[in-house]
Amino acid sequence: MRIDIITVLPELLKSPFEASILKRSIEKGLVEIHFHNLRDYTDTKYRQVDDYQFGGGAGMVLMIEPIDKCISKLKKERTYDEVIYMTPDGTTLNQKMANSISLQKNIIILCGHYKGVDQRVRDAFITKEISIGDYVLSGGELGAAVLCDTIIRLIPGVLNDETSALTDTFQDGMLAPPVYTRPADYKNMKVPDILLSGNFGKIEQWREEKAHERTEKLRPDLLK
């Protein structure tokens, strides 16, 4: 998968891709990440990418021209499956969306900033608008990092244990069951006996029950 990220703050986005699973996915050649600084697509003296909004009002708006130049250049080089815009008024990201995006080959992610982008960018270029939750970030960069993390870990070969992503919370519409590791008894806080029994049929059944219990208690909306 190839991900092209368009941003005014590439430095804010680099570190998540320089550690752990995301780093490894790039090293294994399973994912390519390309950052595009919007300021490289403007001819103006001060590399201006934003301007005041027509009609008045507080806050700057990202201009259409540099975004058009960047997206058009990329589209000349290859076909893109999605051009995603990170914005608090987009569709809220969930596991189902992550699963579907992780199947794509080439995607562009545009990070909003300030008051957002000129509406004509959204009308002309964007195929999907995504929010990571009902709160406002200073820009789309952290949202883009969250989106990338959630999709990249689903790409086959990225996680060492192939089944690990499949048993994640939300993956089957339920929260994951509780997990334990050594020691089996810590200051008299004991691991459930069933997990030490070696009876994998029973363990699987117990996990399903616990996943259901936990979902019912913490996220009953998921069971509807």
Given the rule CB under 6 A, which residues bind ligand ADE? Answer: 86-88, 112, 131-133, 135-137, 139-140, 143
Specify the residue, 33 or 130, whose C-beta has the smaller distance to ligand ADE. Answer: 130
Backbone CA torsion sign across 107, 91, 145, 220:
negative
Q: Which residue is nearest to ligand ADE (CB)?
A: 143
Specify the residue, 9 or 137, whose C-beta has the smaller distance to ligand ADE. Answer: 137
Task: Write down the least CB distance from residue 216 to ligand ADE, Å.
Answer: 28
Task: Write down the least CB distance from residue 128 to ligand ADE, Å.
Answer: 12
Task: Write down the least CB distance from residue 115 to ligand ADE, Å.
Answer: 10
Task: Write down the least CB distance from residue 137 to ligand ADE, Å.
Answer: 4
Specify the residue, 110 or 154, whose C-beta has the smaller distance to ligand ADE. Answer: 110
Specify the residue, 135 or 200, whose C-beta has the smaller distance to ligand ADE. Answer: 135
Task: Write down the least CB distance from residue 105 to ligand ADE, Å.
Answer: 23
Specify the residue, 97 or 195, whose C-beta has the smaller distance to ligand ADE. Answer: 97
Report the alpha-carbon distance of residue 155 to residue 102 in Å, rounded.
6
What does the chain look like in DSSP terms, one character per residue?
-EEEEEES-HHHHHGGGGSHHHHHHHHTTS-EEEEEEGGGG--STT---EEEPTT--SSEEE-HHHHHHHHHHHHHHS--SEEEEEEEEEEEP-HHHHHHHHT-SEEEEEEPBTT-B-HHHHHHH-SEEEESSSS--SBSHHHHHHHHHHHHTTSTTSSSSTTTGGGSTTTTSSPPPP---S-SEETTEEPPGGGGS--HHHHHHHHHHHHHHHHHHH-GGGG-
Task: Write down the least CB distance from residue 133 to ligand ADE, Å.
Answer: 5
Specify the residue, 66 or 139, whose C-beta has the smaller distance to ligand ADE. Answer: 139
